[in-house]
Structure 1
Amino acid sequence: MSPTAVYETTPSVVVTDTLKHGLKERVEIPPWKEPPVTKENLSWAELETIDLTLLDSNNPEIRKTLIAAAKKALTVDGFLFVTGTGISDETMKRNLAIAQYAINGIPHEEKLPFAAKLDQGSYEGYKLRGIWKRDSDTPDNIEHYNLESSSFENIEDGHQHPEKLLPLIPEIKAFAEHTYKYVVYRILKLVSLALELPEDYLWGLHDHNGTIGAACQRLMGYFPRSEKDENATEGIWSKGHTDYNTVSLLYSQPISALQILTPDNQWRWVKHVEGAVVVNTADALEFLTGGVFKATRHRVIRPPPDQANIIRYILIHFARAARNLELNPIWESPLIKARGKNSFQDRIDAGGRAPTQDEWLRERIKRTGHELYDNNRKTAEGKVEEQVLGRKVEYYV
C-alpha cells in the first residue's frame, strides 16, 4: 500500500531528479522575495512540532513519544507543525515563485478559459479574484490555481493550462507528487498509529491513481485591500470555516494571517516555522474518526501592520480520501470504537447513507462563497449553523 518509490531514495533526490529530467532547461520567472517575519507581539497558538523523520526510528520509545504527541495535537487543536519534509529551502522558494507567477504573472484574460467550475463542485483551475462578495458587497481578495491528478494528464495538447504556465507544470507536478507520496503518506501513517490502527490504514483509504490521487495542489495569493474594504469586512479575508477533505497542508511562509479557534474559543495566530508544514484536520477525517479528531476551525485575517501591504503567496495541499469512500467511522480503531459517533446517523436512521468524499466535497465547494454568514443569526460563540447533506456545518462570523 505504501508509495514504494519514495523509499528507493531520499526525499530531496526525488524532487531534484524530477526537476532536472522533467524540463530541458529551468524556466526563468521572477523570484519570490522572502518578506521578514512580523515584529508584532501577537497572540500565538502553541502547537506541537513533529519531525516526520522520527517515524524511521527503530527506538520504540521515540515512536511512542511521537505518536502520543500526535494524538494530543489532533485531539486538542487539530493543528500541528511537521518538519522533516525533504523539501530544500531552494525548492520551497522556487515553488513560491511559481505560485507568484501563476497568480500575478499571467494576464486575467488568459486565465478566463481555465476558470474552475465552482457551480459544479470543482476547484480545478482558477478561482479568480473578486467573484465572491460578502459584507456590504465587498469583493474577495483571494485567487488560487488548483491542480488535481487530471491536471497533469495530456498536457501536450495545450488545453489543460495557460500557455505561459505550461513549461512550469513538470516542476509543479514534482512538488505536488512529493508532497502527496512522501509528506501526506507519513502524516497519514502517524494519524493511523495515533488511532491504534495499522500504519498504512488511512493511506489505504486514499486514492493512489494518477500523480496525487484525489488530492488537490493549490497555488494561492491573498491581495492587500483598501482601508474601505478592510473596514467593511472587519479585516477578515476568509471567515472561520473547516476544510472539506482529510488533512490540509500549508507550507509555512513568513506572512502571518492564519488563525485557529482554540478550545477556549479564542482566535490565535499561527506562527511561521522555517521549513515546516502546517497541518490541520478537515471534515472527512472528523467523520472517519467519528469526531475523535475534529476538523479545525480556522480563518485568514489581514496581516499585522508591518506585513499588511504584501501579497501573501502560499502553497497548500488538500489530501482527500478516495472519492467513492463513504464517510463512516472506522470502527476497527479501538479509540473510535470507544469514543466515536457517526456524524450522519440521523441520515442513516432515515434510510439513507453517509455521503462519499466526492459528494461532500462537491456540495461544500458549490456553497463556498455563498455560505450562510449571517451576523443576525450567530450564536454567543460567534457562529452560524447550516445543514449540509444531513450534517450541521458551522461558520464563524
Structure 2
Amino acid sequence: MPSLTTPIVPHYQPAPQTQEALDYADLAIIDLREFSAGPEARAKLASQVREAMSNQGFFYVIGHGLTKEQTERMFDVADVPFAQTKYEEKEKYLSSIKQAGSYQGYKPRQFWHIDNGVLDQIETYNIHRDVNRRGHPEALRPLLPEIDQFARHSHMNVLSPILRLMAIGLELPEDTLLNMHRWEGDSETYLRFMKYHPRSAEDEQKSKNVWLKGHNDIGTITLLYSQPVSALQILTREGTWKWIKHLENAIVVNSGDAMDFLSGGLYRATIHRVVQPPPDQRQYTRLGIFYFCMADDDVKLAPLIASPVLQRLGIKRRFEKDEDAPVMAEWRKTRTAAYGQSMLSKSTEEKDVEQEIIQGVVVKHYN
C-alpha cells in the first residue's frame, strides 16, 4: 500500500459523521483476525456469519488487514477518476452497460431512472479485478499498482475468508464457495469507485428523497468500505427501513441474488436503498469504494443441495427446476443491462413495490 514512492494525489476530505439521531440497524461485527485462531474460533465465526446472513443479509467486518491510513489513501485514489479527469476523457472510457451488460469503465450521471422522471446524480468508475484488462484515464494510470494490490487484498484477505465461513455455515467443504470465485477465473468481479453528488430540491421532492430504490445486488458478495455520509438503509423483516451506521475502517458486507440462489435462500439478498443524507451532511459528496463479487461466469446459480443445513431447513428455490437456473454470466449481463433502464410494473400484492421479470425471476424494486 502507500510508500515513499506512492504518487501524490489530492486528499479527499470526507464529511464529518452525522450528529442526527438516526434509527440504525443492529448489525453483527465479524473480526477476521479470529479466522486464523483455530478450528473452534472459525466455527464460532461461521455461526455468527450464518446468523447475520440468514436474518439480515448484512454485517460488518473489522480486522481485515488494512490500517486506517491505508483505507484513507484508497479514498484519495477513488476520487481521482472523478475530480482529476475531464468530461472529454471520461467519454472515451464509458461502460458498455446496455450493449454488453458490463459496468467496466464510467457510468455517467443521469443514466439510471429513479422515479417520476428524475435521473440519478451518481458517477461510477468500475475496474475489473485484473486492472490491465482495459485502458484507464491518464490520471489513474500511475495508481494502477496500488489499485491492483487493493483489489487482491479485498479478494484474498477479505472475500476468501468470508466465503470459507459461509461454506462452513452450510456444513460444506470449506473451499466450496471459494472454488466458485477464483482470482484467476473468468468472472466480472470488480472494484467500483462511486461518487454521489447532491441533488436539487425539486428532484428530491419528485423522488421522495430516494437516490437509489430498494434493490438486491446482482452478485454473490458485496464489500463496501465504510464511509461517513449516512445514506444507506436496509429493509428489515418487519418492513421498516433502518440506517447503516459508519464504523471507522470497517467493511459492510452483504449478499446478493447469486448467493441467495446458491444458498437456497439461507443467505438473504437483503433489500437496501440509498436516500438523501441527514441535514448536516447534505452539502457533501458521498464517495464510496465497493468490491462487487461475482461467481465465475460458468457457475450455475442452483441451490447447493449437498448442504446438510439446507436438507434440514428446506430449500427456497427461485427457479422451478435447478436446470432452469442461469449461469452467473447470464444473470449478471441481463440484470446489469436492465437496471435503471427497464419499464417497471407495479406489484399487485405489495404496496410501493415495482417489479420486472428477469430470467424468469421476479425482481422487485422498493420505493
What TM-score does the superposition give when structure 2 sets the normalisation length?
Answer: 0.94
**Against the structure 1 CA distance between its residues 379 and 341, is the aligned structure 2 distance closer, same or farther, given a 3 Å change threshold?**
closer
**Deviation sequence 1:337-359 (CA, Å, 0-9, x none):** 2311332125x6xxx63100000
Partners of 1:265 and 1:381 within 8 A in 2: no
**Against the structure 1 CA distance between its residues 294 and 305, is the aligned structure 2 distance closer, same or farther, given a 3 Å change threshold?**
same
**Which residue of the partner structure matches residue 183 of structure 2?**
208
2:111 aligns with one of 122, 125, 131? 131
Asked if 1:344 corresponds to 2:323, the answer is no
Return the offset for 1:326: 0.8
**Which residue of the partner structure matches residue 360 of structure 2?**
390
Q: What is the percentage of aligned positions where both structures have the same residue?
A: 37
Return the offset for 1:179: 0.3
1:183 aligns with one of 142, 148, 158? 158
Distance in 1 separating the partners of 2:151 and 2:90: 21
**Which residue of the partner structure matches residue 12 of structure 1?**
none
Asked if 1:326 corresponds to 2:297, the answer is no
**Against the structure 1 CA distance between its residues 63 and 26, is the aligned structure 2 distance closer, same or farther, given a 3 Å change threshold?**
closer
Asked if 1:364 corresponds to 2:344, the answer is no
**Which residue of the partner structure matches residue 202 of structure 2?**
228
**Deviation sequence 1:9-61 (CA, Å, 0-9, x none):** xxxxxxx3xx55xxx9322211021321100001110110010111111262x
1:81 aligns with one of 60, 67, 70? 60
Distance in 2 separating the partners of 1:89 and 1:150: 25
Partners of 1:50 and 1:82 within 8 A in 2: yes
Partners of 1:373 and 1:396 within 8 A in 2: no
**Which residue of the partner structure matches residue 78 of structure 2?**
99
Give 3-state SS (helix, strand or coil) of 1:152's partner. coil
Partners of 2:129 and 2:151 within 8 A in 1: no
**Against the structure 1 CA distance between its residues 340 and 197, is the aligned structure 2 distance closer, same or farther, given a 3 Å change threshold?**
same
Aligned pairs for 1:152-171 within 5 A = 152-153=132-133, 160-171=135-146
**Deviation sequence 1:255-278 (CA, Å, 0-9, x none):** 110000011111100001111100
1:42 aligns with one of 12, 15, 22? 22
Distance in 2 separating the partners of 1:84 and 1:206: 22
Return the offset for 1:361: 0.2
Distance in 2 separating the partners of 1:121 and 1:213: 13
**Deviation sequence 1:202-258 (CA, Å, 0-9, x none):** 101113217x96411001100001111111111111100001100001001111100
**Against the structure 1 CA distance between its residues 335 and 150, is the aligned structure 2 distance closer, same or farther, given a 3 Å change threshold?**
same
**Which residue of the partner structure matches residue 122 of structure 1?**
102
Return the offset for 1:152: 2.0
What TM-score does the superposition give when structure 1 sets the normalisation length?
Answer: 0.88
Asked if 1:315 corresponds to 2:294, the answer is no
Q: Which ranges in structure 2 are unaligned for 5 or more consecutive residues?
A: none
Which structure is higher in helix share? 1
Letter matched to residue 178 of structure 2: W
**Against the structure 1 CA distance between its residues 328 and 110, is the aligned structure 2 distance closer, same or farther, given a 3 Å change threshold?**
same
Moved over 6 A (4+): none
Partners of 2:27 and 2:60 within 8 A in 1: yes
**Deviation sequence 1:69-124 (CA, Å, 0-9, x none):** 11110110000001111011111111111111212221111100100000120100
**Which residue of the partner structure matches residue 11 of structure 1?**
none
Partners of 1:290 and 1:341 within 8 A in 2: yes
Q: Which ranges in structure 1 are unaligned for 5 or more consecutive residues?
A: 1-15, 154-158
Distance in 1 separating the partners of 2:247 and 2:343: 34
**Deviation sequence 1:147-196 (CA, Å, 0-9, x none):** 1144424xxxxx70111211111111111111011100011111111111
Count how many residue pairs are aligned between Structure 1 and Structure 2: 365
Return the offset for 1:133: 3.2
Give 3-state SS (helix, strand or coil) of 2:106's partner. strand
Distance in 2 separating the partners of 1:299 and 1:321: 23
Partners of 1:206 and 1:214 within 8 A in 2: no
**Deviation sequence 1:299-353 (CA, Å, 0-9, x none):** 000110001110000100011111111111111211122311332125x6xxx63
Distance in 2 separating the partners of 1:313 and 1:217: 13
Give 3-state SS (helix, strand or coil) of 1:201's partner. coil
**Which residue of the partner structure matches residue 353 of structure 1?**
324
Partners of 1:138 and 1:232 within 8 A in 2: yes
Letter matched to residue 117 of structure 1: S
Asked if 1:141 corresponds to 2:121, the answer is yes
**Against the structure 1 CA distance between its residues 378 and 216, is the aligned structure 2 distance closer, same or farther, given a 3 Å change threshold?**
farther
Give 3-state SS (helix, strand or coil) of 2:50's partner. helix
Partners of 2:209 and 2:276 within 8 A in 1: yes
Give 3-state SS (helix, strand or coil) of 1:143's partner. strand
Partners of 2:235 and 2:270 within 8 A in 1: yes
**Which residue of the partner structure matches residue 251 of structure 1?**
225
Give 3-state SS (helix, strand or coil) of 1:317's partner. strand
1:53 aligns with one of 33, 41, 49? 33
Distance in 1 separating the partners of 2:25 and 2:228: 16
Cα RMSD of the aligned pairs, angstroms, is: 1.8
